[in-house]
Amino acid sequence: MKLALTNATVFTAVDEEALTEATVVVDGERISWVGPAAEDPADAAAVVDCRGKTIIPGLVDAHAHLVYDGVTDPYTIELSRPLERAAIDAALNAERLLSLGFTSVRDVGTRGNIAVTIRDAVAAGKLLGPRIKASKQIISVWGGLGDLHPTHIFRREQYAAALTEIASGPWGVRDVVRQQVKDGVDWVKCEASGTGFNPLCPADRDTMSLEELKALCDEAGAKGRPVACHAESRDSIINAAKAGARTVEHAIFLDDDGIQALLDHDVAVCPTLGLYTAFAEKGLDFGIPREIVESHRRTHELHAAAIARAHDAGITIIAGSDSGLANFPQGGGLEEICTYVERVGMSPAKALLCATRHAARVIGHEEVGTLEAGKLADLLVLERNPLKDVRTITDPAALTAVMQGGRVAAGELPAPVVNAVASGAGVG
- Residues near Zn ion, by CB under 5 A: 322
* Gyration radius of the chain's alpha carbons: 22
How far CA 247 is from CA of 299, 374, 404, in Å, comes to 21, 27, 26
Residue 315 CB neighbour total at 10 angstroms: 20
Residue number, 186 or 322, with CB nearest to Zn ion? 322
Instruction: Indicate the SS3 state at residue 333.
Output: helix
Q: Which is nearer to Zn ion, 106 or 384 (CB)?
A: 106
Pick 212 or 322: Cβ nearer Zn ion: 322
Output 232 or 322, the one with its CB closest to Zn ion.
322
> Which residue minimizes CB distance to Zn ion?
322
> 268, 142, 294, 277: which is closest to 203 by C-alpha?
294
- Residue closer to Zn ion by CB (options 18, 208) is 208
Find the shortest distance in angstroms from Cβ 30 to Zn ion: 32
Which ranges of 162-289 would DSSP assign to H, the alpha helix?
169-182, 210-222, 234-243, 256-264, 273-282
**Pair 201, 147: CB distance under 8 Å:** yes
Separation of alpha carbons 113 and 119, rounded Å: 10
Contact assessment for residue 203 and residue 299, using Cβ atoms and an 8 Å cutoff? yes
CB of 155 to Zn ion, least distance (A): 24
Nearest residue (CB) to Zn ion, 23 versus 323 = 323
Distance from the Cα of residue 245 to its chain's centroid: 17
Check: CB of residue 134 under 8 Å from CB of residue 110. Answer: yes
The answer to whether 216 and 139 are in contact (CB under 8 A) is yes
Q: Residue 140 CB, nearest distance to Zn ion (Å)?
A: 12
Q: How far is the CB of 302 from Zn ion (least distance, A)?
A: 19
Q: Under DSSP, is residue 190 helix (H, G, I), strand (E, B) or coil?
A: strand
Cβ at position 89, least distance to Zn ion in Å: 15
Q: Which is nearer to Zn ion, 320 or 369 (CB)?
A: 320
**For residues 227 and 272, what is the distance between their CA atoms, to the nearest angstrom?**
17
Distance of closest approach, residue 145 Cβ to Zn ion, in angstroms? 9
